[in-house]
Amino acid sequence: MKNLETTAPETIRDRLQPIENDRFQFDCHPGVPCFTECCRALTLMLTPYDILRLSRHLGLSTTQFLDRYADIVVEEGSPLPQAVLKMQDNERQTCPFVSEKGCQVYPHRPSACRTYPLARASRKHRVHGTVLESYFLVKEDHCRGFEEPREWTVAQWVGDQGLEDYQAMNDLWMELVTHPRVREGLSEKQLQMFYLASYDLDRFRSFVFESRFLQAFEVEDMDPQEARTDDQALLGLALRWLRFILLGSGPIKAKGAPTGTV
């Protein structure tokens, strides 16, 4: 597994600390002096599942959500566009969803917010395909939550913060975006498809059901019709399409193609 202390963003790399005996002390609530201090001046990357959950909660299409709440950036060393939560244009550069009382979208808050104050690294085992993961504490100078008496194990934190569904969907996406062939660079068409299937999933749904997609391709391990109304199925179909369009593999096949080819 890659060392998170060397691969993490430079903004947090020097703040990572090991978790001793799988236990840590932390709590966050309105009584903590630094409450909401971590909700400003952020470079907060949004995953496809983050965008789906937030857009549905806000009653927006993914296109509307991206227009209002996201910036699309390309980081140095990566060929891929990334969606970043747009901070408010005020002196403190606060998150658009935070108030004095706390997070206004708390049940649907992004993965990074749920994971904090932990940082997680994961990869698939080369032989049996299970996800291997490791966690660190992110100790920021302003955070007083570590002075609170409540104690957690990593598993307790993951369960309490509702991270299981997020991690399951995010791991499938990260497996694609970190693939060596993808990191080498994509064609203009591949980049367009990457943006569509990763972030603007409502337009991806239109692409599937208002084009010749279903006449041209078949999906071996799911019924694509489920994606008409089920957002989880829509994201699942999008991830399968990305594997096909970026790597030429996976359960999507061109109709009429011989078995084992694309």
Read off the pLDDT of residues 99-115 as tens digits, 9 standing for 90 and up: 999 999 999 999 999 99
- Note whether residue 259 is domain-resident: no
Amino acid symbol at 44: L
Please indicate whether residue 123 or residue 205 has the higher confidence score (pLDDT): 205
pLDDT at 76: 81
pLDDT at 77: 79
pLDDT at 260: 47
pLDDT at 261: 44
- Note whether residue 235 is domain-resident: yes
Longest C-alpha distance within the chain, in Å?
A: 63
Tell whether the model's pLDDT for residue 207 goes beyond 60. yes
Domain count, the chain: 2
Overall average pLDDT of the 208-224 stretch: 97
Same domain, 150 and 46: yes
Same domain, 113 and 132: yes
Per the prediction, the chain carries an average pLDDT of 92
A 10 A CB-CB count for 159 gives 12
Range of the domain at 131: 4-176
Nearest to 28 by CA among 122, 138, 108, 133: 138
Same domain, 105 and 153: yes
pLDDT at 258: 58
